[in-house]
Chains A and B, each alone.
Chain A
Amino acid sequence: MKRESLLPLVGVAGLIVVWYLAVWARVVDPVLLPPPEAAFAALVKGMAGGKLGYDFWRTVERTAYATAIAAVIAIPIGVALGSNERIYRSVEFVIDFFRSTPASAMFPLFLVIFGVGDLTKILVAAFGAALVILFNVAYGVMNARKTRLLAAKVMGATRFRVLTDVMLLESLPQTFVGLRNGVSLALVIVVVAEMFIGSTDGLGQRVFEAQQLFEMPDMYAAIFAAGALGYGLNLLFLLMEKRFVHWSGK
C-alpha cells in the first residue's frame, strides 16, 4: 500500500534522468536546455519572493475571475436550458459551434470591444469557460434520472420544486465536470492572452519574456509553475466534487 503510493515518483525520477542524459549527451544546445537543478533553483528563487511568484498569483487571479464569471453566468442559463429540452435543442448548434471555436480566435474581437487591459483577458477566458460549463450543466439537467423526477412528482412536488430539489442536484456531478474543464480552459486562454495581449505580468508573459531574453532556467521555471497551477486547479475541483457530490458514481 505504502509502496504503491510512491509509484508516481518513478515517472518523475525517470524524467529527471532523461533530462540529465540529454544535457550530458548535448542533444540540444546547453543554452536552450540547462540542467534540471538550474531550472529548479530558478523556480524556488522566483517563487520565494521573486517576480515569478507575483506573476503566478496574477495568473491565478485572472483565471479565478474568469472561472467565477463563467460559472455565475453559465450555471443558471445551463439549468434553464437543460430543464426545457425544446429550447436547448434550438440553441444547441450555436453553443456547440462557439464551444468548438478556438477562444484565441476571439482575441481581436474582444480587444476592439474591451481594449488591451486585464478585462479583455479575463472576459475571453470567461467566454470559453462559460460555454463548456453551460454545455455540461445543461446535459446534466437533461439527463437527470427520469425515475427521480417522477418520484418527486408523484409526491406532489411542483415543477419548480422538482427543478430545485432534484434536477439541480442530479446535474451536480456533470456540473463539476464542466467546472473542471472550464477552469482548465480558462487557464489556457489566460496564459496565451498574457503572452500576446500587451501584458506586463502573469505566467504567460513570464514565459514569453524569459524566452526573448534567453533566460532559459527562468523560462523552464515559469513553465513548471504553470503546470503546477493547472494540476493544482484540477485537483482543487476534484476535492470539492468529492466533498459536495459524495454520491457520485455510487
Chain B
Amino acid sequence: MGQAATAKASGATDRSERPAAEPVHITIRGLTKCFQGAPVYDNFDLDVPRGRFVSVFGPNGCGKSTLINLIAGLIPADAGTILFGGKPLRETKIGYVFQNYREALFPWMSAWKNIEYPLKIAKMDAAERARRVDRLVAHLGVKIDLTRYPYELSGGQQQLVSIMRALVVDPEVLFLDEPFSALDYEMTLFMRDQLQRVFNETRTTMVLVSHDLEEAVYLADRVLLLSRRPATIAAFPDVLLPRPRSDETLSDPAYVHLKGHCLEIFQREVRKA
C-alpha cells in the first residue's frame, strides 16, 4: 500500500529502473499542521524507504524543517499518523542534528560527555557508555580531541560531535536540518563526505533537509521535492548513482541530468505564485 502511495506521489518520474518493492520505514498519512490558521501541511502522505538517504528540497519557507520536526516529534501535528515500521515515535530511537550546532551542543560538557549524554538518558552504565562512544569514535575514524569543550572546536568539528551524539544510540532514523549551512565551503565538502561515510557504514535511514540542490542530489538515494505551502510532493525521484560518490559523481551525466530535472521542477514550483 505504501509502495502505491509513493508511486502516485512521485508522479511523472521514470520508475523503470527502481529496485522492486522497497521496504517502507516511515509511513505518514493525513499529516496536517497549521501555523496561525494557515496550513503548512494539509492531509499530507509520504513513505520514507528503509535504509535509504532522502534529501528534502523545496522553496524557502515551504515547510521542510516543519516536516522533519513533525516526524521527529519536536512539534505536535494537528492531525495525521506517523509510524516507524508500524511503531509510534515513542518506541523508536531517532537522532536529530540541528543546523545551529553552537546552540545544540551543551557547552558545559566536554565533547566526549556530549556524545555520551543520550546514553546516560537511556540509563546505560558508565562502562557500557564508554564502550559505545569509543566504538563509534573508532568506527568513524574521528581524530578530534574529545576532552575539549565544544567552544574550543571548529564549526565542522562541533557539527561532527553533534552527528556523533545523534548516532551513538544507534538510531533507526537520523534527521538532519541543514547541518552544514553554517560551515564554510571547504568544511561543507569535507562534512558531506563524512556523512556519506557514516551512511555507507551504518545504512541508517537518513532524512536530510538541504537548501543546496547539488548537495541534496549528491548525498541522496531519493530527493523529496516539495511545493510551496501548503506543501505537497512535487516529485520524489530516485538517484541511481553508484556509491561511494566522489568528485567524479559531480560530472557524471546521470547526476547532471537529474540535478537539472530537479531544478526544473523546483523552478516550476517557485514560479507558481
Contacts and interface: CB of A to CB of B under 8 A. Distances in A.
A226 B81 CA distance: 67
Interface stretch (B42-50, B93-101, B127-135, B236-244): B93-101
B185 interface: no
B132 to A, nearest CB: 14
Given A246-B149, A247-B151, A156 B121 contact: yes
B103 A155 contact: no
B106 A166 contact: yes
A247 B149 contact: yes
A154 B149 contact: no
Contact of A156 (B100, B107, B108, B118): B118
Contacts of A154: 72-74, 94, 96
Interface string B29-47: 0000000000000000000
A151 B122 contact: no
A250 interface: yes
A208 B3 CA distance: 88
A165 to B, nearest CB: 8
Nearest to A158: B121
A153 B169 CA distance: 14
B5 interface: no
Given A155-B121, A157-B121, A150 B74 contact: yes
B104 A147 contact: yes
Nearest to A245: B108
B149 A148 contact: no
B96 A151 contact: yes
A169 B121 contact: no
Interface residues of A, number: 21
B121 A148 contact: no
Choose among A151, A156, A157 the residue with the greatest number of B CB atoms under 10 Å from its CB.
Answer: A151
Contacts of A159: none
B106 A169 contact: yes
B84 interface: no
Given A156-B122, A246-B149, A151 B108 contact: no
Given A154-B72, A156-B122, A247 B108 contact: yes
A244 to B, nearest CB: 9
A150 B106 CA distance: 12
A58 interface: no
Interface string B145-159: 000010100000000
Contacts of B98: 147, 150-151
B266 interface: no
Given A154-B74, A154-B94, A247-B108, A145 B103 contact: yes
Interface string B82-121: 0000000000001010101001111110000000011001
A89 interface: no
22 contacts: A146-B103, A147-B98, A147-B100, A148-B104, A150-B74, A150-B98, A151-B98, A151-B105, A152-B121, A153-B74, A154-B72, A154-B94, A155-B117, A155-B169, A156-B118, A156-B121, A166-B106, A172-B108, A246-B149, A247-B149, A250-B107, A250-B151
Interface of A: 145-148, 150-157, 161, 165-166, 169, 172, 245-247, 250
Given A154-B74, A155-B117, 20 more contacts: A145-B103, A147-B104, A148-B104, A150-B74, A150-B98, A151-B98, A152-B121, A154-B72, A154-B73, A155-B118, A155-B121, A155-B165, A156-B118, A156-B121, A172-B108, A246-B108, A247-B108, A247-B149, A247-B151, A250-B107
